[in-house]
């Protein structure tokens, strides 16, 4: 540019007449003006192009200005990219959170919420933004809690929209009167807590009944020891002993269950010969039945029974529980069959009886602790109400499944289905 001006100046100096000099000078100025105008136009056009588009090439002062503009624009672009990706990450993380997060303005209007909060409170991020939260989340405890302004303790909220959903809601004030509401699904914990309370109530109840009987007998004996015949005293003592044995059985079952539930080590990988185990269980069941039932064992080809991998003690306890139940819930003269079948998919142990059977409504709950169809009959026959809960635990520790089929008045079939990984061919069948 300076060169162009110098040329014009020389032209003027060399020119003989002033008019020619002026024309050359004006021409030079016009060219200069045109050049700057073009660069300015190009700059204006560039501002309309997408961010990051390269600036046109230029010389002199324009070149410096363009370079500086380009550098600043690039830096601003990069800063914006960084911010956008940080925002995206925050957004993704917020939506992936297992807890609900809801931001409220100073007047409790919804500013932002993540997906979990949508589910927990039945809100919709787009639809409900800007609305007063208490016009949508209307549970009176929540409204009171939010308005009371004391957020030191969390609120346990039973959702009215989703029955069975219990939320732990915490409010954290921040900024200028804004609030962050954090919600956590504690339904499972609540359920466990209810189960724990029920369990303690049940155990206390189960122990109190025999204990009352024992202390009643003892009081009677103390009050009138000399008035009773020897046979009466013996009778009372026998009844007291029966009740103590009942308590002992209950405590034994409770300890077994607790050992199974509270991190007892995985069952030992013993090789349990199924035929031997079933014959021994049938023998014990016959002792319990005392000739009142016909108890058969069906093993198919005994040589093909094979072995079960697991804890002999636990498997014996589970199978014996099922066999004993069949004896206890089958009227005299009934027929009970213990059977075992091994196939490529695993093995199945089953106990079939033609006893009193079970109404289908009870079947899904039979393995709950202390669940009994007929409390009286269970007690009379020495039941604790924990047998099937123990069976279920043992089977699940052996990756097996308990199946129950039953029809009232016709009988029941309880079976334990083992996966192939738990069943092996026995020594004799492996040879054949
Ligand atoms: P219980 O000690 O009362 O027998 P269980 O957990 O072993 O407790 O069984 C739970 C309930 O299941 C029993 O109270 C009984 O009502 C029912 N039940 C179990 N086995 C049989 C069966 N073979 N026939 C009929 N009812 C059964």
Question: What are the tens digits of pLDDT across the range 330-374?
Answer: 999 999 999 999 988 999 999 999 999 999 999 999 999 999 998
* Residue nearest (by alpha carbon) to ligand 1 atom 10: 372
The percentage of residues in the chain with a pLDDT greater than 70, rounded to a whole number, is 94
Q: How far is CA 102 from CA 57, 156, 182, 337, in A?
A: 51, 17, 7, 61
Same domain, 72 and 119: no
The CA radius of gyration of the chain, in Å to the nearest whole number, is: 43
Same domain, 106 and 64: no
DSSP E strands in 3-135: the ranges are 100-104, 110-113
The pLDDT value given to residue 40: 87
Q: 261, 283, 309 — which closes off a domain?
A: 261
Same domain, 86 and 111: no
Residue 211: domain span: 190-261
CATH at residue 234: 1.10.287.130
* DSSP assigned state of 61: H
CATH at residue 123: 3.30.450.20
> pLDDT by residue (tens digit) across 84-139?
999 999 888 888 889 999 999 999 999 999 999 999 999 999 999 999 999 999 99
The pLDDT value given to residue 53: 77
| Mean pLDDT for the stretch of residues 50-63 | 79
Of all helices (H) and strands (E), which one includes residue 6?
Answer: helix 2-14
Same domain, 112 and 209: no
* Residue nearest (by alpha carbon) to ligand 1 atom 16: 373
Q: 234, 261, 288 — which closes off a domain?
A: 261
CA of 372 relative to ligand 1 center, distance in Å:
6
CA of 349 relative to ligand 1 center, distance in Å:
18
> What's the number of domains the chain is made of?
4
Same domain, 120 and 206: no
* DSSP assigned state of 229: -
Same domain, 102 and 178: yes
* Ligand 1 atom nearest to 386, measured from its CA: 6
Same domain, 87 and 104: no
Ligand 1 pocket, 253 CB below 6 A? Answer: no
| pTM for this predicted structure | 0.67
Same domain, 86 and 127: no
The pLDDT value given to residue 371: 93
Same domain, 355 and 280: yes
The pLDDT value given to residue 11: 62
Same domain, 137 and 250: no
CA of 271 relative to ligand 1 center, distance in Å:
29
Same domain, 278 and 246: no
Q: Which residues contact 425 (CB under 8 A, 6 or more apart)?
A: 304, 306, 307, 342
Ligand 1 pocket, 314 CB below 6 A? Answer: no
CA separation for the pair 329, 352 (Å, rounded):
11
Same domain, 311 and 399: yes
* Residue nearest (by alpha carbon) to ligand 1 atom 23: 326
Ligand 1 pocket, 353 CB below 6 A? Answer: yes
| Mean pLDDT for the stretch of residues 406-424 | 96
Q: 185, 207, 239 — which closes off a domain?
A: 185
* Ligand 1 atom nearest to 353, measured from its CA: 23
């Amino acid at each position: 540019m300076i060169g162009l001006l110098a040329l014009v100046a020389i032209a003027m100096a060399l020119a003989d007449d002033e008019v020619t000099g002026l024309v050359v000078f004006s021409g030079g100025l016009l060219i200069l003006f045109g050049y700057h105008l073009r660069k300015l136009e190009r700059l204006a056009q560039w501002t309309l192009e997408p961010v990051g588009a390269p600036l046109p090439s230029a010389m002199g002062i324009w070149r410096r200005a363009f370079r500086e503009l380009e550098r600043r624009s690039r830096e601003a672009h990069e800063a914006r990219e960084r911010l956008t990706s940080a925002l995206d990450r925050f957004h993704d993380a917020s939506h992936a959170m297992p807890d609900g997060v809801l931001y409220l303005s100073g007047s409790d209007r919804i500013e932002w919420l993540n997906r979990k909060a949508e589910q927990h409170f039945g809100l919709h991020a787009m639809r409900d933004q800007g609305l007063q939260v208490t016009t949508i989340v209307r549970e009176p405890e929540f409204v009171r809690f939010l308005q009371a302004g004391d957020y030191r303790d969390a609120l346990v909220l039973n959702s009215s929209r989703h029955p069975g959903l219990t939320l732990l809601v915490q409010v954290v004030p921040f900024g200028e009167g804004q609030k962050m509401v954090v919600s956590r699904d504690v339904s499972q914990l609540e359920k466990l807590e209810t189960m724990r309370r029920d369990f303690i109530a049940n155990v206390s109840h189960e122990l109190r009944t025999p204990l009352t009987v024992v202390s009643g007998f003892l009081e009677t004996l103390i009050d009138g020891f000399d008035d009773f015949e020897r046979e009466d005293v013996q009778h009372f003592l026998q009844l007291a002993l029966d009740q103590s044995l009942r308590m002992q059985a209950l405590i034994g079952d409770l300890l077994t269950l607790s050992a199974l539930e509270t991190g007892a080590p995985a069952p030992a990988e013993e090789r349990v010969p199924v035929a031997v185990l079933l014959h021994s269980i049938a023998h014990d069941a016959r002792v319990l039945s005392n000739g009142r039932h016909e108890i058969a064992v069906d093993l198919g080809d005994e040589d093909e029974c094979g072995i079960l991998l697991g804890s002999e003690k636990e498997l014996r306890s589970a199978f014996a529980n099922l066999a004993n139940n069949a004896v206890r819930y089958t009227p005299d003269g009934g027929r009970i069959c213990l059977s075992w079948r091994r196939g490529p998919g695993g093995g199945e142990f089953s106990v079939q009886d033609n006893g009193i059977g079970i109404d289908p409504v009870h079947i899904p709950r039979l393995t709950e602790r202390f669940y009994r169809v007929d409390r009286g009959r269970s007690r009379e026959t020495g039941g604790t109400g924990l047998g099937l809960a123990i069976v279920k635990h043992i089977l699940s520790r052996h990756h097996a499944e308990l199946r129950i089929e039953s029809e009232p008045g016709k009988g029941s079939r309880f079976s334990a289905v083992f996966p192939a990984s738990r069943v092996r061919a026995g020594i004799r069948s492996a040879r054949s």
